[in-house]
Structure 1
């Protein structure tokens, strides 16, 4: 079944009356070996799923922290093929955790959709979010993803017109990515975007689970989005920066990441039935 790992994860978090905590990493940063160690460390610490960025030369949705990580991976020669191989290695050690990737249209459109999504599926990847692909141009892309057993995930921005949001709700599988604000990724002291309204609009449109990203760096942010009705929270820039700092200081990734995951998950508890399919 398409998206079965996400379905099983959300069934588990529902049973525990909480939202999911989903860390983000850039594949191959700071090195391929340390990327694998960081990803495994996050899973072992209790991450409910992983979102992984495929290094791309013009990451328009990413803020400075993630862009720097992308540049480090590209400078080290990490290719899309390397990324799929690393994710496949991670999948062999972790059969149940959902894994999604974030990429860009130029990287996807370099080959026929069926070829691309077959590679994605073979690597054990559950979902693909192509950040700069307009929903109005995504029908053939989404249909081929589903045919190959991969969830197409789309971004729901706070200013999306009703028709665009309806199409996003119809086309997203696994989960729907709600951005907490307009702009690029990166942490702020406070969440200021109107993601609550976006979550409500998606629910009315019959969307699959809304997961909020952009600016999620503190436990208070996770608590805010879960209590607003989100099925989970994605933390990217904070996690990427933590991994980089541990690398620079030659520290222990597990020692750094485990307490972070634990404190972020601690605030995911919610009232029962905040979100219903």
Structure 2
């Protein structure tokens, strides 16, 4: 006669044999005899931290209104032409009715936040915990600090109508291709991805065309997701045209007859 094996349900998880824990969940919750805090480093605890980051981000930005995420290098000096370009971009976006979202750090991010703040708009900084110290720049009006890159990236995408990308390094490329991938795969509604700086970005666009497209790794339509310019007014116009199109589509959807 077979001996019945112990079994316990933990939510959607079934535990059997040696995986069945001794004691109960309440017992482990209330028992602090060991005095150890190992639980705060467990994956289940991290899930709660991740959840809290999304809740804080959604709560802080839910009423932001139309916004544009601006990316660029943290290493851009204050006296560099790209710093002035980012500041002017921040100002122009505010004048066009948009809040400005950056990574909240120094360099290009600081410049875009400065432009937005001095123009009287909303200047948002989404910071990230790094091994080296990096505080939110002083021009951020609404700041949210994140532990996890993926939670931070969600905020960049969820609350932006467009991405404007100035010269930058690996982090900027990561954010750029994250946006392009989401648009290409239709995980998000199509929005403009504007590369500002033809000299800096031109080689990358040429490589995409001459290598990736030529080898069939992307389609010609994929390249149309990218707009390349040196002109701030042209960049802002691209953002505005997409915003107007989204508004028209939303209005059309509201006016469309409803089928039973």
The structure that has the greater radius of gyration is 2
TM over 0.5: no
TM class by shorter chain equals 0.3 to 0.5
Taking structure 2 as the reference length, the TM-score comes to 0.40
